[in-house]
Structure 1
Amino acid sequence: MNSLFNPATAALVVIDLQQWLGNQYAPYTSQQVVANAASLAQAFRQQESFVVLVHVSSKDMMDLPRPTLDQSPPPMNLSAGWDELLPELGVTESDHIVTKKQWGAFYGTDLDLQLRRRGIDTIVLCGIATGLGVDTTSREAFMHGYNLIFAEDAMTGFSEAEHNHVRDYIFPRIGRTRTTKEIVDSMGL
């Protein structure tokens, strides 16, 4: 076992790397995030560690939250296949797919159940966007008692300020932050 985590009791959880990705992210581009997440997924699969790919989906949009807001939400502009996972992730039969209806990957899904059944105690987390799906999922995981490792360069925000705020003020209080290379290197690959 290495000092960062035990691959036998760790899972990679990838948030919302699906066809509906915008182009306005910082500090990393969506292409950088997808490439780093794919590298992590490959490393986890080589170690026979659990890989969870999370995406948001809806058939009629009626099952998604619609809160009253002070400002209008951004337009969705969804095209056919918007909710499909990106092919760069190389989805395999051993991956667990979680379909969510809100920002966090735990509420209303079987994620916690599947992690506990496999004896998982540590989650390596990445995806888009740092301040929404990744942050919400990290807080849920923390409240469920999981150890967290954040792949800082395998996630990005809608702005650099958003990403940096979560990375600098939230993540240090609930887990450890590392680069993709540091995580993969710690696995002995």
Structure 2
Amino acid sequence: MLLLECLLNLLTFPRVPDNGPGWRSNVNREGLAMISLPATRTALVLIDLQKGITGLPLAPTPGTAIVKRSKELAARFRAAGAPVILVNVAFAPDFADAVHATVDRSFSPPGGFAPDWAELVDGLAEPTDLRVTKRQWGAFYGTDLDLQLRRRDITTIVLGGIATNLGVESTARAAHEHGYNVVLAADVMSTFTEEMQRFACEEIFPRLGRVTTSDAIALDA
């Protein structure tokens, strides 16, 4: 119910104008944004669907459901010939490449990091997928994500993953700043509380791109 309420509330929220060739949208009978995107200019970017993160207590959707929906969406992108980019976060054994800024609340998984915590979940990756490893929340800084997208003439990215208001939001903000069209598949992302999910979907994402669900995304040949 939270996801549906979040998306329905967006209907009354001011949206940024459509922009870019092939960027078309209308509204289906459920009131969710229907978006048609050119497969040759669109990439799916999935954030941190890895063993040490998907098993954490998440809300409003458990990690198993997010992984299932992500696999289904990725299969549609591959079938359409659109790139699938799988992003994980990982660090050196001594964490020398991690962010060491002083913060009020640091985060580490309960019990520490398991040896396989940075590995993507089983069955997610295919040989044709692109892989990006980051060292912080966002997927652009310090990686070749922007290069990989631009070399393929990608102008729109569809985002999903964990956590909605951390890795996904950080990547969405950077994508917006880099000039990409951003589509946020709200049913293919989750975080740690329902309020975090609601705030990101209702207050932040509409200012960065288009918010919809995975089944409302169509890829044109």
Q: Specify if TM > 0.5.
A: yes
Q: Give TM-score, length-normalised by structure 1.
A: 0.93
Q: Identify the range of structure 1 (68-77 vs 93-102) with the bigger mean alpha-carbon deviation.
A: 68-77
2:155 counterpart (101, 115, 121): 121
Q: Distance in 2 between matches of 1:43 and 1:85?
A: 19
Q: Distance in 2 between matches of 1:101 and 1:129?
A: 15
2:73 counterpart (32, 36, 40): 40
Query: 2:205 is paired with a residue of what secondary structure?
Result: helix
* Aligned 1:152-171 pairs, distance under 5 A: 152-171=186-205
* Aligned 1:22-171 pairs, distance under 5 A: 22-60=55-93, 61-75=95-109, 77-89=112-124, 91-171=125-205
1:5 counterpart (30, 37, 54): 37
Q: Identify the range of structure 1 (52-61 vs 118-127) with the bigger mean alpha-carbon deviation.
A: 52-61
Structure 2 unmatched runs, 5+ = 1-21, 25-35
> What fraction of aligned residue pairs are identical, expressed as a percent?
44
> Which of 1 and 2 has greater Rg?
2
CA 1:147–1:81 in structure 2 vs 1: closer, same or farther (change >3 Å)?
same
Q: Distance in 1 between matches of 2:178 and 2:113?
A: 33
Q: Give TM-score, length-normalised by structure 2.
A: 0.80
Q: Distance in 2 between matches of 1:50 and 1:41?
A: 9
Query: Is contact 1:12-1:51 (8 Å) kept?
Result: yes
Deviation at 1:59, TM superposition (A): 2.2
Deviations along 1:120-171, one digit per CA (max 9) or x if unpaired, are 0000000000010000000000000000110100000111100110110111
Query: Is contact 1:34-1:88 (8 Å) kept?
Result: no
Query: 1:78 is paired with a residue of what secondary structure?
Result: coil
Q: Distance in 1 between matches of 2:219 and 2:176?
A: 23
Amino acid corresponding to residue 160 of structure 2 in structure 1 = C
Structure 1 unmatched runs, 5+ = none
Amino acid corresponding to residue 87 of structure 2 in structure 1 = V
Query: Is contact 1:2-1:187 (8 Å) kept?
Result: no
Structure 1 vs Structure 2 CA RMSD: 1.7
- 2:46 matched to which residue of 1? 14
Amino acid corresponding to residue 37 of structure 2 in structure 1 = F
CA 1:182–1:81 in structure 2 vs 1: closer, same or farther (change >3 Å)?
same
Which stretches of structure 1, 4 residues or longer, exceed 6 Å deviation after superposition? none
- 2:216 matched to which residue of 1? 182
Number of positions where the alignment pairs a residue of Structure 1 with one of Structure 2? 186
Query: Is contact 1:17-1:127 (8 Å) kept?
Result: yes
Deviation at 1:17, TM superposition (A): 0.1
CA 1:72–1:187 in structure 2 vs 1: closer, same or farther (change >3 Å)?
closer
Deviation at 1:58, TM superposition (A): 1.3
